[in-house]
Structure formats: structure tokens, C-alpha cells
Chains A and B, each alone.
Chain A
Amino acid sequence: MTPRRDAAGPVFTALADPTRRELVQRLASDGEATATELSAELPMTRQAVSKHLALLEDAGLVATTRAGREVRYRLNAPPLAEAMAWMAQVGGRWDERLAALGRHVERTRTPAGRRRSR
């Protein structure tokens, strides 16, 4: 019930881009990949893929493992879960509050608002 202390600012910025969503999806299905491998699957250069991956990494959505010169990327899912939980909870509460406000307004509406109908 208690709202989580933290939520995912950069997460949604990172996922607002369709290319990055595609990368997340690939990593979700492949498990792990290098920028080179990912660029082979997508119509873009390795450099472009690397930039997107860096942004995803900043947002905490992907984690890296270095093996020699190679950097392997994999999905880091908890931030997504955190953001989803926050949004579902906070949004749900505002739905309830606004519904209550609607009822409150109906109860407290002054006759002035209905004068027109006379």
C-alpha cells in the first residue's frame, strides 16, 4: 500500500524511443548480446546501437559485462517493475480520488449552477 520511495525517472525516457524498446525486446529474448550482434539484427550501425544501449544503461535498464574488449549487454528488469508498480499505485489512487471529487462536487453544487433551467 505504501508508495515506493523511488521511481524510475529515466526509465520511461529511455523507453519512449521505439528503437530502444526494440533493443530491450531483443535482450529480453536473447538474454545477452553485444552491440555488434544487435546491430546485425537491426537496420542500424553498431555505433547507433551502442548509443542507445548507453542510454538504456544510464536508465538502469540494461547491465553490462566486460570480457576483454567485448561488452555484453543484458536486461536489468527491476527498474521496470519498480516504475510499473509506482504508476499503477499512484494512478489508481488518483482514479479513486477524482471519482470521490466528482461525487463531492455533485453533493456540494450550489443551486446557482442550475439556475439556467428555471
Chain B
Amino acid sequence: MSTSVRREVVLPVSPEELWPALTEAERLADWFAPDVDIDARPGGGAVFRWEDATRRAVIEEVEAPRRLSFRWAEMGEAGAAEPSRVELTLEEVAEGTRLRVVETAAGESLPATAAMLGAGDAWEHLLARLRRSRALVVA
């Protein structure tokens, strides 16, 4: 197990209808990033550009319309950061499609930031958050 973030959302369309929104540049540009280049094939590249950031991705798995995974990292002044892995899975449900997102952190080294913890149960709270999948039903 590594550090990861999980989210899920249920969307009122079929997996087949949702798939292009996740894999086609034109559709991605409408919600994900204003400027998108993507070659949604295993080994293909993708670039997502926002006003203040650019992320590059390498596509890993593509199983239309069920599963898409890639590694990506932000392009910083010092070159690329260590990439994290993103997995998107689509599951057909009565209300449409359940889309699950899992982003898993890459590295294990831990640069120091401000010291924290001490009193309180901040980490307990955080663990609960880690386990919780957020379900947003778009009706």
C-alpha cells in the first residue's frame, strides 16, 4: 500500500459515452485542462496545460471503455517532478457510470516540511480521509 487519493463520482451516462470525455483532447479541454494533447494509447504521451502549470503524462493502460491509467508529473523549473500514477476505472451502474480515480504518490523519500503533529489527532483524521471515497452523484 502506498499513499494514494481515491475519489469516485457517478455520472448519468454510459461508460461508452463517458470514455471520449476522458480520452479525447477536445472533450478534455472542456473540463480537465484548457489545452490538451493526448495520444490515448499505451505508451502514448499527453500534455495538459493550465494557466499556471503544465503536466506531462505517459499513458499506460487503455481498455475502452473500462480503464485508463497513466503516470504524470508537473513540469517545473527544475524539470519534471517524480510522477505519480493515476488510474481511472469505469463501472456501469444503474444510474449510469461510476468513475473511480486513484492517484498514487511516487516517491518514498520525504523532504522535510514544517513539523507538525504533536497534540491532536490530525493523522487519524487524515487516515479516515484516505479511506473515504467521496461519491458525488450528478443527478
| A→B interface (CB under 8 Å) | 1-13, 15-16, 21, 24, 28-29, 60, 75, 77-87, 90-91, 94-95, 97-110, 113
Contacts and interface: CB of A to CB of B under 8 A. Distances in A.
B108 A99 contact: no
Nearest to A89: B5
Contact of B53 (A2, A7, A9, A29): A2
A77 B118 contact: yes
A88 to B, nearest CB: 8
B115 to A, nearest CB: 5
A104 B29 CA distance: 10
20 contacts: A1-B52, A4-B81, A5-B82, A5-B107, A7-B106, A8-B110, A11-B3, A15-B123, A77-B116, A78-B113, A78-B115, A83-B105, A90-B5, A94-B103, A101-B31, A102-B9, A102-B11, A103-B31, A105-B21, A109-B13
B107 A6 contact: yes
Contacts, number: 162
B47 interface: no
B99 to A, nearest CB: 7
Q: Main SS of the interface on chain A?
A: helix
Interface of B: 1-3, 5, 7, 9, 11-13, 17-18, 21, 27, 30-32, 52-53, 74, 76, 81-82, 84, 99, 101, 103, 105-119, 122-124, 126-127, 129-130, 134, 136, 138
